[in-house]
Amino acid sequence: MQCEHTLVLATPSAFTSLSNLAPEPRFRYNRAGPADPVCACAGEERRVSFGQRLQEIRDGFEPAFWVANVSEIFERLSYYGAFSSLANYLHESLNIPTQQTGALAGLFGGMVWFLAILGGAVADRLGFRRALSLAYLILGCAYFLLGSLGAAWMAPVRSAVPLTGLLAFVLVLPALGIAMVKPSVVGTTARASSENVRSIGYSIYYTLVNVGGAAGPYVASWAHRHLGVENVFRVSALSVLLMFVAVLLFFKEPRRSGDAKTASLAETAKNLFTVLTNPRFMLFLLIFSGYWIVFWQQYIVLPIYIHGYIDPHADVELILITDAATVICLQFLVTYLTRKIPAFRAITIGTLVSALGWLIVASHPAVWAVVLSIFVVALGEIVLSPRYYEYISRLAPPGQQGTYMGFAFLPIGIGSLVGGWLGGRLMHHYGEVVQRPAQVWWALTGIGVGTTLLMWIYHFIVKTDVPSQG
């Protein structure tokens, strides 16, 4: 589950305005397990029985917690369902050239991460109920418009506005909604759960995000086969519109802790300036963006490659479940096996593994090779993702870890935007000009290997040593 499914959107406001509410960092891999029977009480540890723990879970969550987190399943389902069908929809149904298809797909995947900078502050100002309902309404309209761009009733709009510009506008709209959903759900998880079960609440949240990310391509596959590709986006629209209704009917604004501080837009801008003016931190983020450039290609150019050069009838959406399924099945095992590896070494190993994964499909243009490549890419992803934030926390100046962690998602957005632009051009050049499409994957592997080397050089220069947490 790509970033948002490997890395749950963690907005700056989630780290700052909610820092007093939630003891766990807002990224997917929570080291606190839901089955841990030990809890702190009055400065001491006490052991509780399974029955007592179950009762604490039953009593520890307000209804708003469940409404928000269940809605997150459908939001992720909608997003990854749409994303898994997007590239071939643009290229085959709307006849967008390969280069522009790559750039537009990268825009769809990347803008979420940049608008998230403001999304948390907006959600705090509106309140979570209004922010969630507005976000789901925006998402519903955006997905419906995206699936209707080829419809007859849209012909006057298409004739009046260049199609590429219209697409760019429609593809940015979902980012506006998602940027408010994430901090609202994370904030609700913090406020609507008792202190003694809050870490379990985050574990539930991370699990449901993974479930939605895995279900999205599956639902998209069914909709594509039975209803047509344009209806994949309408199913996504229906999914989030149902959540719009659910929030209006069942979501009650969770209580606000008296000591919780809401980050203003000015404070968010100040935090961003603080991060941007730290050259050491920004250099690492820029280098690590290379990993995401390589990673995002499974959504940007791989669908075009499969239909254009392997099998025009292949079920691309079903193939793209591979990454999500791998994360769900192997994340805890891989995290346990790599727990003694220092954080930076785990990041570089994961980057290298993901890069080398694309050599399988480069050498064997077959569906089974695509599935195996995605599997290896996912292995690299789950090796590095939990350790990335551990390393980021060491790069932050003392006392500013919350601010810096809140901007650690920037490489994901940069990787999608640059990866879309680059991937489309590589596929056009090697596939349509020189007729050697497999060279795309060799080029992308080269970028991944180069990123690994740059990270090692950076590490030796900066000498930021992070011991393992195992």
Q: What is the pLDDT of residues 341-374, one digit of tens each?
A: 988 899 999 999 999 999 999 999 999 999 999 9
φ, ψ for residue 19, nearest 5 deg: -65, -25
Specify the pTM.
0.84
Q: Helix, strand, or coil here: 189? A: helix
Buried b (16+ CB within 10 A) or exposed e, 414-437: bbbbbbbbbbbbbbbbbbeeeeeb
Q: How many Cβ atoms are within 10 Å of 154's Cβ, its own excluded?
A: 13
Own/partner pairs, 164-170, CB within 8 angstroms, 24+ separation? 164/96, 164/100, 164/104, 167/90, 167/94, 167/96, 167/104, 168/104, 168/107, 170/142, 170/145, 170/146
Asked if the structure places residue 3 within a domain, the reply is no
352: in domain: yes
Q: Examine residue 470 and state whether it is found in any structural domain, yes or no.
A: no
In a domain, 362, yes or no: yes
Residues 297, 101 contacting (CB under 8 angstroms): no
Rounded to 10 degrees, the C-alpha dihedral 170/225/235/154 comes to: 40
Report residue 432 CA to chain centroid gap: 31
Tens-digit pLDDT profile for residues 219-274? 999 999 999 999 999 999 999 999 999 999 999 998 765 445 555 667 767 777 87
Q: What is the CATH number of the domain that holds 344?
A: 1.20.1250.20
- Contact criterion met (CB below 8 Å) for 444 and 426: yes
* Segments of the chain scoring below 50 in pLDDT: 2-45, 258-259, 468-470
Residue 225 maps to a domain = yes
**Any domain includes 401:** yes
Domain for residue 1, yes or no?
A: no
What's the confidence (pLDDT) of residue 256?
63
Q: Which residues contact 32 (CB under 8 A, 6 or more apart)?
A: 24, 199, 200, 202, 203
Determine, yes or no, domain membership for 469: no
The total number of structural domains that make up the chain: 1
Q: Convert the pLDDT of each residue in 193-227 to its tens digit.
A: 888 888 788 888 888 888 999 999 999 999 999 99
DSSP 8-state symbol, 7:
S
Nearest residue to 56 (alpha-carbon basis) of 208, 194, 254: 194
Q: Rounded CA gap, 235 and 238, in Å?
A: 5
Sequential DSSP letters for 222-273: HHHHHH-THHHHHHHHHHHHHHHHHHHHH--PPPPPTTPPPPPHHHHHHHHH
Helix (H, G, I), strand (E, B) or coil at 398: coil
A 10 A CB-CB count for 159 gives 8
Residue 416: domain span:
12-40+50-462
Interatomic CA distance for residues 201 and 65, integer angstroms: 8
Beta strand residue intervals within 4-122, DSSP E: 38-41, 44-47
Phi first, then psi, for residue 47 (nearest 5°) are -100, 135
Question: Which of 80, 3, 38 has its CA nearest to residue 316?
Answer: 80
